[in-house]
Amino acid sequence: MIIRSKAPLRLGLAGGGTDVSPFADLYGGSILNATINLYAHATIIPNDNNTIELIALDQDKRQSHDSSLNLELDGQLDLLKGVYNRIAKDYLDKPLSFTLQTHVDAPPGSGLGSSSTLVVAIIGAFAHWLKLPLGEYDVAHLAYEIERIELGLAGGRQDQYAATFGGFNFMEFYKDDKVIVNPLRIKTKYVNELQNNMVLFYTGTSRESATIIDKQASAINKNAQEQIDATLMVKEQSVKMKEALLRGELDKIGHILNVGWEHKKRMAEGITNSEIEMMYKTAMDAGANGGKISGAGGGGFMFFYCPNNTRYEVIKAISKLNVKVTSYEFAMSGLYSYSID
C-alpha cells in the first residue's frame, strides 16, 4: 500500500503579519489568502523491517532510523520527525515502520508557506493511513503546534489553515490560538479575472522569515507605536480586499495591494531592500497598479496586479531584471490524501 497526500501553497493577498503573536493576541488579526496549484507532497510506504526512512526528495536528504516512538531532533529533516513524534505521542502505543518521502513545488523561503504546508501534507498522510479522527481545524491546529511550539520555528498561523482548507479564505486570529476561517464564495468570473491580471514572479532569492517575524514581534512587545499603527493598517486592507473580491470590484485590488505594501514595509526592518524596490518600481512603471511580497518579506515570490491587459508589458519589463515569471492557477481545494495498492 502507498499513501499519498498533497496540500496547496498560498498567496497572502492582504493582512500578512497580523496573524503573528503578540499582535494577534492583543489586537486580533485578519488575513485574506488564496491557495494556488503549487503543492507540498508526502508519501508514506509502510514496511515490516522495523525501520523508519525519511527522504526529502527536493533537498536530496535522507536518514534511516530504527523504529521508535520518538526520533531525535538534530536539525536535519526535523519537520518530518516532528510530525511523526507528535502522531506517535498522541495516537500510538508501539512504533511504526515505514518510508516517508516529501517534496515541495517551491523552494524553501519562497514566501508561499512551504514549510507549514509540508507539515499539513505529512499530517494528512498519517491521518489517512491510521484513520485518525481529524477535521480541518484539528489538522491545521496540530500543524501549528508542531511547527511553532514543539519545533520552535517562528511564524504566524495563516499557512497551516490555508493549506488545510484551500481556496479563498478570510481568516481571523485571536488570543489563545483561536482561529476562524471564513471561506469566500467569489464568483468564478472574478476569480478568473484576478488570475489573469495578477502576475507572479520569483525573485530568485530565498530568505529566513523567522528573522523578520522576530523583529515584528519584538516591536509589538516594545509597544512601538509606528509598527503597531502600520500593522493595524495592514489588517484594515484585508477587510477591504475581502469586500472588493466579493463585490467584483477588481479595479480596487491594485490600490489595496499598494497601500498594504507601503504599510507592511513599516512593520519591521528587512521586509524590503533595494532589489525589491527596483522590481516594484519597474512593474509599476510598466503598468501594474499594486503588488507585494508574498510572506514575511525580504525575498521569495512577488506578485503584481496588472489591469487592462498590462500584464504583458509588466512581464517584459521585470524579466529584464533576471526575475522569472511563474505560471499558476488558483486552487480551490485544500489538503487531499488517498491510498493505493
Which residue out of 105, 159, 214, 341 is catalytically annotated?
159
180, 197: one domain? no
CA separation for the pair 182, 323 (Å, rounded): 34
Cell 507601503 belongs to which residue?
262
251, 219: one domain? yes
CA separation for the pair 190, 168 (Å, rounded): 12
* CB atoms inside a 10 Å sphere around CB 65: 14
Sign of CA dihedral 148, 19, 293, 122: positive
Region label for 84, one of left (φ > 0), alpha (ψ between -120 and 50) or beta (otherwise): alpha
161, 249: one domain? no
168, 197: one domain? no
CA separation for the pair 176, 114 (Å, rounded): 24
Per-residue pLDDT tens listing for the chain (341 residues): 999 999 999 999 999 999 998 899 999 999 999 999 999 999 999 999 999 999 999 999 999 999 999 999 999 999 999 999 999 999 999 999 999 999 999 988 888 999 999 999 999 999 999 999 999 999 999 999 999 999 999 888 999 999 999 999 999 999 988 999 999 999 999 999 999 999 999 987 765 666 777 777 777 877 788 889 999 999 999 999 999 999 999 999 999 999 999 998 888 778 888 899 999 999 999 999 999 998 767 778 999 999 999 999 999 999 999 888 999 999 999 999 999 98
CA separation for the pair 321, 204 (Å, rounded): 10
Annotated catalytic residue 74: no
164, 268: one domain? no
41, 165: one domain? yes
**For residue 89, what are the domain limits?**
2-185+331-340
pTM of the model: 0.94
> DSSP 3-state assignment of 105?
coil
The per-residue b/e assignment along 271-284, b for 16 or more CB within 10 angstroms, e otherwise, is: bbeeebeebbebbb
Domain count of the chain? 2
Q: What CATH number is associated with residue 83?
A: 3.30.230.120
173, 216: one domain? no
121, 215: one domain? no
216, 175: one domain? no
CB 36 within 8 A of CB 331: yes
24, 150: one domain? yes
145, 285: one domain? no
Q: What CATH number is associated with residue 290?
A: 3.30.70.890
275, 291: one domain? yes
